[in-house]
A and B are shown apart, each in its own frame.
Chain A
Amino acid sequence: MNKVPFLKKIGLLPFLAGGAFLFGLVFLVWKVLGYPTVQPLIDGMRGGLVGWQSAFGGPGELPLGIYTTIILVLKLLGVMVVLILVGAYSTYVERKILAFMQDRLGPTRVGYKGLLQPIADGLKLIQKECIVPLGADKVFHYWAPILVFIPSMMGAVIIPFGEGLIPFDLSMGVLYLFAIGAIGVMGIFLAAHGSDNKYSSFGGFRAVGQLISYEVPLAFSMMTVVLLAGDIRVGGIIDAQLKGGGLGFPIWFIVPQFLGFLIFFIANVAETNRVPFDLPEAESELVSGFHTEFTGIRFAFFFLAEYVNIFIASSMITTLFLGGYGGFDLPFLGQTLSSVVWFALKVFLLFFAIVWLRGTLPRLRIDQLMELCWKRLVPLAMINFFVTGIIKLANEIRLNPNLLWPILEKGWGTALLFFILFFVGMVVWVRHLLKGVFGKPALERRA
């Protein structure tokens, strides 16, 4: 019999290795980039805490340190519980909606109208064996689901659940989501690489290409909103829509930014690997893509992360374009609770739209996917950003005419350069469109 090292036997080795890796990463970031990078994070947490303290009353008898620690832990636990429940029950809701669209019943057996189905699914997945393929890279195979799951949970801490209910209103705001999202891509690639399966590799390659590509239009349309709001914090963006911070009058940003909303919505559907962009897990070609070789709780992590990501995406669309938790006060509920209801309602509508897409559309091919991103969404998002910028600038000058001369004096060179670049880009793009390059497939088709 082979002698198995103790650490390997109890499965601690990957834990230790991964822990050391993550610790090293954090340490490196801290050392190289210095305190100022981390400062906004901490400030944001403090700001959020102060807000919560004022909402729930002061520290009282407890020392401030203990009080803040308790609040911190409670907040994190609350976010986690809410997210896991939302993630689990959005599978149920999706199955019910799809069933409604496809003339069938959906889950009906476990509990009243199948309401306990997600819990039964979870229990089943937890007690199943985690099968590791013979040729798999055990460390990657162990860590990949965790590396996908944790960032999606981390991203949720800036979701504005209701008025005064933003767990951490970070000063780096919505940029935080991008920083966190990039880690998830790495997890997907590790899952694909560590499985020793060609279908998984295909899924991983597709996922990485797709996620990185669609972050570009996503970021552009998001920055357009930030430009309009004049604030990058989540709370600030919502306030700008409800109280009129950025433009001078309150308006949901879906009205001036409808194009941006469409781009952001499409890019978000692609970022969450949903139909019609579910190429990384295309079951008709790749069996199930990067998570083909995962079972039990490891598969559950991927599954849960996917639905949590949809939830985050929907709440970000709500925050940026649909006025966040804004809405009139509902009777008998009070201000805070009705804001939570409004937020949930908007998120549910967006979730319904995403499921609706799944019930209707086939899947794109990989070249069509890339064309849609780089040749349509990215130029459109850039034009949108540019035009919005000009209008915003004009609005600023209208509000404050004294600004006109300093802007012209200091910025004419840059403005001219940008105008020329913009014009050249437009000419190239429109000629491209007119030549009909988009309609043709990337490969020469056999006659």
Chain B
Amino acid sequence: MSDRETFSGTTVLIERESEDRFWLNMGPQHPSTHGVFRILLETEGEVVTRVVPVIGYLHRGVEKLSENREWMGAIPLTDRMDYLSAIYSNMALVQPVETLMGIEVPERAQWLRVLSMEINRLASHLLFYGTMGLDLGALTPFFYAFRQREKVQYLLELLSGQRITHNYIRYGGVRGDLTPAIEKEIRAFVEGFVPALTEMEALLSENEIFRGRMKGLGVTKPDFLESYAVTGPILRAAGVDWDLRRDSSYAAYDKMDFNVPVHQDGDCYARWWVRFQEMVESTRIIQQCLDGMPAGKFKKPLPFFLKVPRGEIYQSVDTPRGDLGVYVVSDGSRFPYRIHYRAPSFCNLSAIPSLIEGEMLADVVAILGSFDPVFGEVDR
């Protein structure tokens, strides 16, 4: 049986399996698709029987644009990919290029990188905490989270001069130093943030309805996730102890003492729990960074027009969404020959359709929310 359905002004021919089902177009303009994601759902009553995801509404050609800029000019473009954790994208690009050039980054710069990245992780996970509540219909967690996130944004603004597109990590170091004034601000924030975290956890984690909605929903097994190359908190929530911060210890992570939260269930609640515990660990890392910050230069002076030696390299960092890998090819000129990003959101998103099928309409939103994709990164 086929049917003409009009979606967003274009009429398409879609097969329907039975008369009881119809196609529902969710997005790209929808309150809870986390950006511009579009899913076509074939529903039978409240149950979703088939899923057709459509991506590409936010495609800007970041990889191609990078080829026409100086090496320095490629960094601001990475801010625009994962706009919730921009500093990680900076780091992912800067690290392989430094390795190609063989630059020794000052110790203080490495510590500053860790500090800024972990503050950024707080911003990203706080947004997840708020939107997860909104997706389930709870209003208050959103306001609790955004009250804290505003302070985090302020700290990042002090460090980098920008609220969203931080552009903080540069080749050879970071953009600005940690002044005593900024350090005082960060210390004050961490002091207030730890009790706030307890409060936020109490709001949701023991809530009967929240647990009823999240537990046993969208259960993922490790081999299922590995077959889709899913990484990050989603993988850790399924019981796989995999964290590049600890396992490949880039920047100054080898000098930090932190735990990698792992949950065995692999359901939506586990993903929520893992992200929440990561916030706790991040505050620990931030505190260690402040206490043990080595003196020295925050940046190694480099010429503005970099020349990267011929070669190719792939390196990845652990972002709040998973492993962001960057494949850099240089032909020895002032411009990158090719930069490819392995975006974690893109890989994670590919696992969603098979999880959604057979669930109810309300759970579509919950599962999508628990994967926490950023569509600037999916579409690039």
Contacts and interface: CB of A to CB of B under 8 A. Distances in A.
Given A285-B361, A287-B31, A366 B216 contact: no
B207 A361 contact: yes
Interface string A404-447: 00000000000000000000000000000000000001011111
B139 A282 contact: no
Q: For A199, A283, A441, which residue has the most chain B Cβ atoms within 10 angstroms?
A: A441
Interface size bracket, A side = 20 to 34
A48 interface: no
A250 interface: no
Contacts of A279: 362
Nearest to A278: B137
Contacts, number: 98
B207 A362 contact: yes
Interface string B211-244: 0110011010100000000000000000000000
B184 interface: no
B365 interface: yes
A443 B360 contact: yes
B210 A362 contact: yes
A195 to B, nearest CB: 14
B365 A285 contact: yes
Contacts of B212: 364-365, 368
Mostly helix, strand, loop or mixed at chain A's interface?
Answer: loop
Interface stretch (A64-72, A99-107, A215-223, A234-242): A99-107
Contacts of B135: 284
Contacts of B139: 98, 102, 358-359
A363 B365 CA distance: 12
Interface in A85-114: 98, 101-104
A348 interface: no
Nearest to B136: A362
A362 B138 contact: yes
B360 A198 contact: no
Interface of A: 98, 101-104, 198-199, 202, 275-276, 278-279, 282-285, 287, 358-368, 441, 443-447
Interface of B: 22, 24-25, 30-32, 46-47, 133-140, 143-144, 147, 203-204, 207, 209-210, 212-213, 216-217, 219, 221, 355, 358-365
7 contacts: A103-B147, A202-B24, A284-B31, A361-B207, A363-B136, A443-B360, A444-B358
Given A285-B362, A362-B133, A447-B221, 8 more contacts: A103-B144, A104-B143, A198-B22, A359-B139, A360-B138, A360-B203, A361-B138, A368-B209
**9 closest residue pairs by CB, A with B:** A363-B137, A362-B136, A102-B143, A362-B138, A284-B32, A362-B137, A365-B362, A284-B135, A359-B140
